Structure formats: structure tokens, C-alpha cells
Amino acid sequence: MKSATQVETIQPSPPSLSSSLSLGLNKMRPYETVDHLVSCNAVVVFSMSDCCMSTVVKHLLFSLGVSPTVVELNEQADGPDIRSVLYQLARSHQPIPAVFIGGKFLGGVQTLMASHINGTLVPLLKEAGALWL
């Protein structure tokens, strides 16, 4: 048994991106959340953890040496609201995954793959500061 003078210290673990979003950005409106994330990070991927196309996008970027900020919308309390914003930006029926490079909306998996194949993706990533090669 511990005496009254002994105090047990519990060190909290560092927050993950998901918990950081939940703690700080949930106070923002969804559009402000998206705007803040894409303006403060070179590459942002809005994703669903169980989406195969989202997995393809993340693997391609990681294989190029990019460390994108990944927001798994199904793990966020305001994920459905952010997804609505992405629908408006994408002007399509399927906005997920949504890739932003250098603060600008690039598109989804098809646009990312087409950019990679035609050779415009790497220069775009360099210009955004996501690659230093």
C-alpha cells in the first residue's frame, strides 16, 4: 500500500494524428478543418481505412518517399461532415480518396496515377516541398 506522501505519476502517450484531429480541429467547421490541413501540409490524403483505392494512393506516395498527412475519415468524429466538403470540392460521386498537394486539390486515385504515369507527379511533389530529390 502506498503512503499518503507517495504520488504515482502517469505519463500520457503522445497523441496520434487521429487524436490530435479530434482534440483540436473538431472545434472548427468542416471546411475550415480541410482548409487548415491542406494549407499546413505539403501532401494530405483524406482516406477511409477500409478503402482499397485509398490504400493504393497511400502506397504510391510512400513508395515515392513522400510522408503525406493521412486523415482516416472513418476514425474522425466529424468524418461525415468533412466528406461532404470533399464531395463539393471533387464535384463527383466518389471523393475518397482525396489528394491535396501544395494546398491544391489534385483529385483521387485516377488523377494521382495519371500524374505519376505522365511524369507530372514528382515535379508537383518537389514544388510542394514533399520531395527533396
- The pLDDT value given to residue 92: 65
Cα(34)–Cα(105) distance, integer angstroms: 11
| pLDDT of the residue at 133 | 67
pLDDT at 28: 63
Look at residue 62 and tell me if it is in a domain.
yes
Number of structural domains (the chain) is: 1
Q: What is the mean pLDDT for each group of 10 consecutive residues in the chain (133 residues)?
A: 38 36 56 90 94 95 95 90 87 82 93 96 95 79
Q: Rounded to 5, what percent of the chain is helix, strand, coil? A: 50, 15, 40
Which CATH number is 111's domain given? 3.40.30.10
Answer whether residue 117 is part of any domain: yes
Expressed as residue numbers, the domain containing 88 is: 17-128
Give the start-end residues of each E strand in 26-92. 43-47, 69-72
Within a domain: 5: no
